[in-house]
Structure 1
Amino acid sequence: MRFSASSAALWLACSIGLVAADSTIDENGIKSIPLRTHNLASPYLDSAMQSRWWDFGGNTIVRADQYVRLSSDKPSQEGWLFSRVPLTATNWEIEVEFKIHGSGNLHGDGFAMWLTKQRATPGPVFGSVDAFNGLAIFFDTYKNNRPGTVFPYVMSMMGDGHAIYDKANDGKDNEFMGCSARGIRNANIPTKARLTYFQDKELKLELQYRQEGQWELCFETNDPPMLPSVAYLGFSAETGELSDNHDIINVQTKNLYNTNRGDNGRPSSPGMEKGRKAGKDRNHAPKSEGSWGWFLFKIFMFFAVIGGGYVGYTAWRAQQKRSHRF
């Protein structure tokens, strides 16, 4: 196949257009670029009954047209779903559609969302490993021993690789921030969670469970914990004597980049809620706030332009030589 310089330029323009078409910029100048390596949607599996970007195990069931069921409404089940590659973006947003439902009046135990160094390791904490390193969000539907707290309860925990989750007290002493979410189980609308992270600037969790399109702030802080530089995105669930179906329906992950010059992180909003627990003060070494994902994208496009130009020039030179022969 022969390429003219104009053909090479057209191919390059189309490639750039396809990538740009997937990205959006909101009213605050925040550009979002989908991360296909951390997205999940029906039919979930390829023709070989595998997923290119995700692993699953335990009692997990995949129904290609509906859900990835981490645990069924049966006693003593646990299952997990984890990304195969780590999430290395500096700033990101993860939106998850899930469903917690069952037939009994008594139900449990719940499911968890993970951003941790560990991956695909079964354990006693909502179906995954204890003493983890990273961030966990627990959607706890069964109250063990936590007076004064309304369940279901959604809480975050930062693990340092040594801390043990206090299961007997529903993680009371482990909590970073959290909120009650009565109505999140057996909801009549699609239930969703949206976790947004800007390094050193913001960690925010929003929930949709009361009305479609209406997001409830669960917690927010402008002093977020430092997450591991290499963290895997995952989900897990467990049931004990009581049970529920815990389904993951859709996962959308985006790399975020502030296009406003001079500030690569999201500006902190005034009066930001600290949540139930603001956590201890943290001193972080100064870090570059730019998005590595965006930086690598620009490097890729730079070499793509050079490569396209070289292909076009080589084809043009070859055509010129052939024309001089006659």
Structure 2
Amino acid sequence: MRLSTKLSGLWLAACAIAATSDKAVTNEDGIRSIPLRTHTLNSPYLDSDMQSRWFDFGGNTIIRADQYIRLTSDRPSQEGWLFSRVPLTATNWEIEVEFKIHGSGNLHGDGFAMWLTKQRATAGPVFGSADQFEGLGIFFDTYKNNRPGTVFPYVMAMVGDGVKSYDKSNDGKSDEFMGCSARGIRGASVPTKAKLTYFQDKSLKLELQYKAEDQWELCFSTEEPPTIPSVAYLGFSAETGELSDNHDIISVNTKNLYDTKNRPDPSTQKPGSGSGRQRGKGRPDKKKSGSWTWFFFKILMFVVVAGGGYVGFTAWRTQQRRANRF
């Protein structure tokens, strides 16, 4: 089902400013999260006009309001997508997606993708979306083309520069930023979820739930995350070829993240990791603490040396006086 809108970008931007919820939660690590409605999607998905205020849908996507958004059905040669209408401009965020990959055949394919890219709402050959994208793509690949030694389904991240093409014939091996095997993610007996967490210039982490509820498996994590475009749209897409599957999006929940502890930026504590930033005041500064320790150590050494010199000088004068008596 292709849904369109005549709402202007200005109106959407104005609504986006007012669309953050005040239901903030701070966890034990001091990370405060605020739900972001502009990039959140839950049943029934559509409003009273049978449209979505914040997302566009296209291709072979169908919507069952009480259950799922189906990007592709279990039929050959399908492709479908959904993309946010406004960009995700938050500096730090968490996106949790519940999805379901399932079908009736013993052979199945091809998979679906999660996008944070400058481009939006364009069908193409990369899991149903456009190639030569600029931004981040996360691919949930269920069909192995040519990648010896890799267990499928395989989940991988690719950073696109707007020029580089996805190497589909080799399952993106040469383009991989990070990834992991996720056997059991298709047709799992528990709700399957992906949680992508990003702190600008600090970290990127992908966790998966497919073995047991509330049990998150780390897929990948890095303290040197790629640069995501400042104007990036959140999207999902899927495709089938000769082989097929149902690729369903059940829910999308996005949150702005804030670090209330004002931790020191790791890039200021190790050479070559990026530009320095002002350290936070809410936590002791290790480097500054070390400088004070060295300062007091030098004072102590001065006292010891001066004291030793004074004792030596006193002993020498005493010896000279005794010698003069004779």
Both structures adopt the same fold (TM-score exceeding 0.5)? yes
Q: CA deviation at 1:47?
A: 1.2
Q: CA deviation at 1:261?
A: 3.5
8 Å Cα contact 2:94/2:254 also seen in 1: yes
Distance 1:285 1:130, change over 3 A: farther
Runs ≥4 residues deviating over 2 A: 281-290
Q: CA RMSD in A?
A: 2.0
Query: CA–CA distance in 2 between the matches of 1:113 and 1:143?
Result: 19
Query: CA–CA distance in 2 between the matches of 1:257 and 1:177?
Result: 25
Distance 1:286 1:162, change over 3 A: farther
Letter in structure 1 aligned against 2:257: L
Query: CA–CA distance in 2 between the matches of 1:174 and 1:236?
Result: 19
8 Å Cα contact 2:61/2:72 also seen in 1: yes
Aligned residue number for residue 284 of structure 2: none
Aligned residue number for residue 115 of structure 1: 116
Query: CA–CA distance in 1 between the matches of 2:272 and 2:101?
Result: 35
Identity of aligned residues (%): 76
Aligned residue number for residue 161 of structure 1: 162
Query: CA–CA distance in 2 between the matches of 1:121 and 1:203?
Result: 26
Query: CA–CA distance in 1 between the matches of 2:211 and 2:279?
Result: 35
Q: Secondary structure at the match of 2:123?
A: coil
For residues 261-272 of structure 1, the aligned pairs below 5 Å read 261=262, 263=264
Query: CA–CA distance in 2 between the matches of 1:95 and 1:72?
Result: 23
Distance 1:146 1:187, change over 3 A: same
TM-score normalised according to structure 1 size: 0.76
Give ranges in structure 2 of 5+ residues lacking alignment. 1-19, 281-326
Query: CA–CA distance in 1 between the matches of 2:153 and 2:227?
Result: 27
Give ranges in structure 1 of 5+ residues lacking alignment. 1-17, 269-280, 291-326
Distance 1:28 1:283, change over 3 A: closer
Q: Secondary structure at the match of 2:129?
A: coil
Query: CA–CA distance in 1 between the matches of 2:21 and 2:140?
Result: 35
Aligned residue number for residue 49 of structure 1: 50
Letter in structure 2 aligned against 1:130: D
Aligned residue number for residue 83 of structure 1: 84
For residues 139-288 of structure 1, the aligned pairs below 5 Å read 139-261=140-262, 263=264, 284-285=274-275
8 Å Cα contact 2:21/2:36 also seen in 1: no
Letter in structure 1 aligned against 2:48: S
Letter in structure 1 aligned against 2:24: S
Distance 1:259 1:145, change over 3 A: same
8 Å Cα contact 1:90/1:289 also seen in 2: no
Query: CA–CA distance in 1 between the matches of 2:100 and 2:220?
Result: 21
Aligned residue number for residue 74 of structure 2: 73
Number of positions where the alignment pairs a residue of Structure 1 with one of Structure 2 = 258
CA shift digits 1:50-89 (9 cap, x unpaired): 0000000000000000000000000000000000000000
Aligned residue number for residue 38 of structure 1: 39
TM-score normalised according to structure 2 size: 0.76
Query: CA–CA distance in 2 between the matches of 1:144 and 1:207?
Result: 23
CA shift digits 1:17-71 (9 cap, x unpaired): x954x10000011000000000000000011110000000000000000000000
Aligned residue number for residue 98 of structure 1: 99
Letter in structure 1 aligned against 2:161: D
8 Å Cα contact 1:67/1:248 also seen in 2: yes
8 Å Cα contact 1:94/1:251 also seen in 2: yes
Query: CA–CA distance in 2 between the matches of 1:97 and 1:62?
Result: 15
8 Å Cα contact 2:93/2:257 also seen in 1: yes
Query: CA–CA distance in 2 between the matches of 1:261 and 1:128?
Result: 38
Structure possessing the higher radius of gyration over alpha carbons: 2
Aligned residue number for residue 8 of structure 2: none
Query: CA–CA distance in 2 between the matches of 1:94 and 1:131?
Result: 23
CA shift digits 1:183-223 (9 cap, x unpaired): 00011110000000001111000000011110000000001
CA shift digits 1:98-150 (9 cap, x unpaired): 00000101000000000000000000000000000000000000000000000
Query: CA–CA distance in 1 between the matches of 2:64 and 2:99?
Result: 14
Distance 1:256 1:72, change over 3 A: same
Query: CA–CA distance in 1 between the matches of 2:259 and 2:198?
Result: 13
Letter in structure 2 aligned against 1:101: H
